[in-house]
Structure 1
Amino acid sequence: MIKLLHQQGRSWEEFWHPPELLDVYGLGEELLVQKWLPKLSSDPMQSTEKCSQDLQMLNDSLTKIFDGSLLNKTAVLNDFDKTVTLPLIDSQGSLNGGLLTGHTSYYGRWGECRKINYKLSNGNVWRGEIFRFFIGSLNQTTNRCAKAILGIDICLPKSCTAFEIKRRIQATKIPLLSNPICDVANNDSARTNQVDTGTYIVAIFVFFVLGFGIISGFVDYFLYNDLKDFVTIDEENIYWKIFFAFSLYRNTKGIFSTKGLNK
């Protein structure tokens, strides 16, 4: 952790300055409610209407729970608070130590977050999804983390994408943290099996080899002996060697052959 701070040109004493200490160790409920969720840009161009509505409902519920009115018994929990907000708070990651030993990933409770499934009065469904927030310096060129100090999981509405959350953060005029949120990711953005040009190239190559092997094996098994009666086949010819090298029949036969082995 100290090494990461020095790489960013920051001292340990600076990192533990009280306001920043609050920023880092407040990455749980305090970050979610008091730090950035109420300040997020409400510009409808930054996210879909469903995402905006779900975030607003969450913000209203969190504010009611944490502003003290609940403790003073001036507010009561409704179904949304009980079914969505409380499990959401309980499922998010929290900084529970280990920074000095290099522990920089604070995982949330994925199962609990994804169990959140609440049907709203308008027919929509509020579902939970874990998002990982990376805290550190931002590379302005790539718009990603130059060096992430740590990552923490927070449960948010599934109707939002990681890109939408990040865009809303960047569109916010008020600084959210002295350590900025330099990137946001969720399960969708973490997938590495998305179809792209490389996928098609590999698939075409695999199907070509497989198809050529089937054709070669068919000729080798069913037609080879008959062809020799009508056509002179020079098996030393390079083209025939290449053709039969792909034969599934010949290769399978060679794999299971015990010729020359001690029995």
Structure 2
Amino acid sequence: MLQLTVFVEGPSDQDMVYALLEAMGVHQKARIAVLPLGGKRKIADRIRDLRNDDLNKFVALIDADEASVADSRELARRQLGSPQIDVFCAVPMIEAWIFADPEFAKATARSLHAREIIDRAPLPEMIPYPKQFALNVYGSSRFYPREATIDVNLAAARSPSLRAFIEGIVSLVGVDFSFKVPTSKLSDTRDVISTLLRELPQTTIVWKTMAGEKITAGDLAVAIAEGSALGNQYATQLLRVARDLIARQSD
């Protein structure tokens, strides 16, 4: 059987990766080892000379220092010495992934108030200090529900960096997994649009206003998530264009 080894920074990263891989059914295709090495430098040293082959697949996962998936993955590769194996990153850090599926996150929240806090939380990648947020919700370093199963489709729809990691694992291992958009569970159309924008490099110009102002993907993702006038204007225009395009294709 194929051996999949994922190198991560710490024990909390290890717990989250195991939760994801279990929910995806990766264990049916490969033996899994998730190894916490204690930081980026140690991961870089460990993976420097690694290569994938038919029986062994290697992946590195680290916390990001950029807001977009495209930017953060490129930076992560440089931080780890541009290795031959796949490198992924959690935006802004892996504790944010806990909240990509709110029901999963609420499974071991310490109180009703803590569960209400989770319900009011922004999209995972917009939580300013995910580790502190998790400590506030759980009251200890035991962040991850051990008996709950994460809804991978919902989590991937709400966190682009989590989706990128899952897509990489699917491609590497060949696990039979296809995404389904859980529209009934997404809280807001703004969440969907903001998440899609975060898949682009944050400095990419994605919109030019009537006044001639050029707006980047990163700024627009924040504006939409916050419900600002600029964000609402873009979301409305985008949906109208999509509506008209689909209508024309239906003729």
Using structure 1 for the length normalisation, give the TM-score: 0.26
Using structure 2 for the length normalisation, give the TM-score: 0.27
